[in-house]
Structure 1
Amino acid sequence: MLARSAPASAAPGATPLLVSAFDATPFAADIDSSKARCLPEVDLPAVRPYLDAQVASAAVVPLAAGNAPALLLLGAHDAERFSPELGTLLLDRLARLVGAYWHGLVAG
């Protein structure tokens, strides 16, 4: 599953959405990866349906492989927030923390 939050244009109090793996086809390689990545500008159109349409930079954060793989998409209006030239150490740590929590929820 690809988890995403409600877009900025959604009504106040809108709940996060879960998108099935079928909708995550553009991110199939990222789901199987263990490394976060900042997307180049040419890849932004693929994430705009899941994030605010005004997103100027984005990162894909896999939450670990296993029985319930997931992705966290992060977007920013700042074009330099998630730049491919930046390192991903913080994003990889975030992936481990959120992934552990996610898999704890799924395991029940």
Structure 2
Amino acid sequence: MEELCSVPELKAEGKVMNHCVAGYAHRCKQGHSAIFSLRRYETHADGQTDLKSYATLEVRVLSRKIVQIQAYHNRPVNGVVMSMIRQWATAHQLM
């Protein structure tokens, strides 16, 4: 899980995931929200490794509550991804 802390990071995530997360930059700058990306390195058959995003999360800073979880093109995440998010949320005392 990686926090996206800059406008370029938010724009890159929005491009990769095909959603509008970059529009939340003002919420992050004001300290209302924090945006995280669930990512994993994947190795292809040709030996090349790249970082793949599986989900983008919005966490409200004051309430420590996850308010959005989006997969590619604003689709819901699958069960495996949701399980990883739950483990991360529990470890970081998020609701």
TM range (shorter): 0.3 to 0.5
Higher-strand-fraction structure: 2
Higher relative contact order (CA 8 A, sep 6+): 1
